[in-house]
Amino acid sequence: MDAVKRNNVKVIGKGEKPMLFAHGYGCDQNMWRFITPAFEEDYKIVLFDHIGFGSSDISEYNKERYASLHGYAEDVLKICHELELQDVVFVGHSVSAMIGVLAATKEPERFSKLILVSPSPSFINEGDYIGGFNREDIEGLLSSLDSDYLGWSNTIAPVIMGNPDKPELGQELAQSFCSSNEEVARDFAHVTFLSDHKKDLAKVKVPTLILQCSEDAIAPLTVGEYTSKSIAGSQLVVLEATGHCPNLSAPEETIAAIKSFL
């Protein structure tokens, strides 16, 4: 099956230059709905769902292929190939920020810019690197997920969203988690939280913007600073927004930062 159909690709916008949006863990392309209208006039907007999420074709899920983020990066590249996209502005949220890094290091000539929203090359503290969690924390989180995915989703979603004054956003994220294919969501969680792509950051040769929220329970400020220092010439913007999903909680500020970079 072609990637455009498999990943439920949608193309909108009036422009010629492609802007490819990749959603974070447990979400789908709908999570960009507050962001994309600001760019539809000038860009060709490309949206898709990772396998197992949204309206993607779950029958195409292969546990071995998606045992690392490289499988998801290959999907991004296949979408680019099939749509013949060049000079792509890639916008990736959370785990998809690292998926974009992997895609851009494999085919740097295909991308003109990377915009990494709340990225984390590794969630686990190691040496001088502060990823936000000890390994025991991550193992406990994954154990809880494996034993009660729905309960875990409803508990963790408000923490990830990080905007208690907007409980509807945490509820939306929880609903998105709960509506995902449970097997794929479990596998993807293990890949997401146990991946370590710190060494891949130095391979990025594409102009890069890093958007970091001022407070983020999932990816603290130290992660944004590390990512920026590791990608030569990158620009770090610390948003006033809090939480891990500024694309939902602070779209105007997120749009302004992206437009300034572009």
Q: Which residue numbers are catalytic?
A: 94, 216, 244
**Are residues 49 and 8 in contact, defined by beta-carbon separation less than 8 angstroms?**
yes
